[in-house]
């Protein structure tokens, strides 16, 4: 019985460490800027990178520079109705699980193409729009953009 309990505790900790979930992104973008640095550092291993910021955004990155674990998160602090996020990640499995989470949460999926011709998917539900696209670079990566509807 103790082994089963330990398994569920460890599994729960792993799931909460996953940044790309609907609940995590909704919580991050609806919260205050004062707690953002602490949340991202403690729960998701992302450290603030002030050198890459400007007055309208905050930039966070993983300390782990290996390609499969490297992430860059930009938080746009002056977006219209809520903070907007742009996450670039090389972890295909994480993006796939996020896709599944979006569908499970009732987001409607459609095809998407940006101004540069990069294709991807757009997900819409109530007041949130999410786009996921390949970055179009030689290094395989995905960009996830989470924002409020106008």
| pLDDT (tens place) for every residue of the chain, 150 residues total | 544 333 444 444 344 357 889 999 998 888 778 888 888 888 888 999 999 999 899 999 987 666 567 889 999 988 777 789 999 998 888 999 999 999 999 999 999 888 888 889 999 998 899 999 987 666 678 899 999 886
Write the CA distances from 26 to 2, 39, 53, 108, 118, integer angstroms: 34, 13, 22, 17, 26
pTM comes to 0.81
Query: Parallel, antiparallel, or unpaired for β 57-62 and 142-148?
Result: unpaired
Look at residue 2 in the predicted model and tell me its pLDDT: 46
User: For 75-117, where are the alpha helices, taking DSSP H only?
Assistant: 92-104
| CB distance 124 to 107 below 8 Å | yes
The confidence score (pLDDT) of residue 129 equals: 94
Q: Where are the domains of the chain?
A: 2-148
């Amino acid at each position: 019985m103790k082994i089963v309990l330990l398994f569920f505790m460890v599994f729960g900790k792993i799931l909460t460490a996953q940044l790309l979930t609907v609940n995590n992104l909704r919580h991050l973008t609806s919260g205050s800027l004062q707690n953002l640095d602490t949340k991202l550092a403690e729960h998701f291993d992302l450290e603030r990178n002030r050198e890459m910021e400007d007055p309208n955004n905050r930039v966070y990155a993983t300390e782990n520079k290996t390609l499969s674990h490297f992430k860059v998160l930009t938080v746009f602090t002056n977006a219209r109705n809520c903070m907007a996020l742009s996450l670039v990640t090389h972890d295909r499995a994480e993006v796939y699980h996020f896709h599944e989470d979006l569908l499970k949460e009732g987001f409607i999926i459609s095809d998407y193409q940006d101004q540069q011709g990069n294709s991807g998917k757009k997900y819409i539900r109530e007041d949130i729009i999410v786009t996921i696209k390949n970055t179009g670079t030689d290094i395989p990566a995905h960009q996830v953009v989470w924002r409020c509807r106008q």
